[in-house]
Amino acid sequence: MTLEDQELKKVGLKVTVPRIKILQILENCLNRHMTAEDIYQALRDAGEDVGIATVYRVLTQFEAAGLIERHNFDNGPAVYEIDRGEHHDHMVCTESGKVIEFHDAEIEKLQERIAAKNGYQLVGHNLVLYVKPLT
């Protein structure tokens, strides 16, 4: 019974090969932000015979279970990353495509204040900074 097995059980999903493999890939990948296609390719590279439909289904379940987060940068395909419970936002370099994570408590508070000022309660947000290297 590996750690991955336990994580799956805990969220009420049956322990199956595709789920274990996908969870491992997301936990160990160098590139923390992978598309469904990236994951599909990683599976095939590892010799696993998993369909792309299963990849999407599993990712959807993982997201619903809070194991991973899904992001939509601009208009490209969605990217997924393990949810380690440390909330952060993203910075995307427009020249290299590199993704940098950051967290800023002040910006988080400001958002709540802005929502409140308009008579709302903040339930989530999406912040992406598009940047380029300083000359």
Give yes or no for a contact between 22 and 39, defined as CB atoms under 8 angstroms apart.
yes
Beta bridge partners, 99, equal: 92
Select 46 or 110, whichever has its Cβ closest to its own copies.
110
Nearest-approach distance from CB 93 to its own copies, in angstroms:
7
Between 50 and 89, how does the x/- string for binding to DNA read (CB under 7 A)? xxxxx-xxx-x--------------xxxx-----------
Torsion of CA 135, 96, 91, 25, to 10 degrees: -150
Beta bridge partners, 70, equal: 80
Chain contacts with its own copies (rule: CB under 8 A)? 72, 74-75, 78, 91, 93-94, 100, 102, 104, 106-107, 110-111, 114-116, 118-135
14 binds DNA (CB under 7 A): yes
Beta bridge partners, 71, equal: 79
Alpha carbon distance 63, 76 (integer Å) = 19
The neighbour count for residue 25, using CB atoms within 10 Å, is 21
Residue 34 binds which entry of DNA, its own copies, none, CB below 5-8 Å type-dependent: none
Binding region for DNA (CB under 7 A): 9, 13-19, 35-37, 48-54, 56-58, 60, 75-78
